[in-house]
Amino acid sequence: NAGVTQTPKFQVLKTGQSMTLQCAQDMNHNSMYWYRQDPGMGLRLIYYSASEGTTDKGEVPNGYNVSRLNKREFSLRLESAAPSQTSVYFCASSDDSGYTFGSGTRLTVV
């Protein structure tokens, strides 16, 4: 089915470990986003990419890096995970009518 695919769905990291969250969309959308969702905070934008080859910081970029590998793929990297990065992460892509979200990655940093 068309949409946004995120991997992995679950991950447990130790403090200081690194990992990359993968995201791919097959809707030919130009814009892609990474959000984190925390209780009482809603969805907060980490980074976004308005088009292939461009990335920009969102509301909470510290501790993260992103790569817009091509039009389909937008990855999020944690270089040195911290417990404060325990969250649910959503990737999304958009066209003029709105966003399509992936199903989320639940990350726990211990």
Residue 72 vs 101, nearer CB to other proteins: 101
Q: Look up residue 84 and give its DSSP letter.
A: G
Residues 101 and 92 sit within 8 Å (Cβ to Cβ): yes
Minimum distance between the CB of residue 88 and other proteins, rounded to whole angstroms?
Answer: 9
Say whether residue 40 binds other proteins (CB under 8 A): yes
Q: From 15-23, 35-43, 69-77, 78-86, give the range in contact with other proteins by CB under 8 A.
A: 35-43
Among 17, 19, 22, 43, binds other proteins (CB under 8 A): 43
Nearest to 103 by CA among 27, 8, 32, 12: 8
Residues 45 and 108 sit within 8 Å (Cβ to Cβ): no
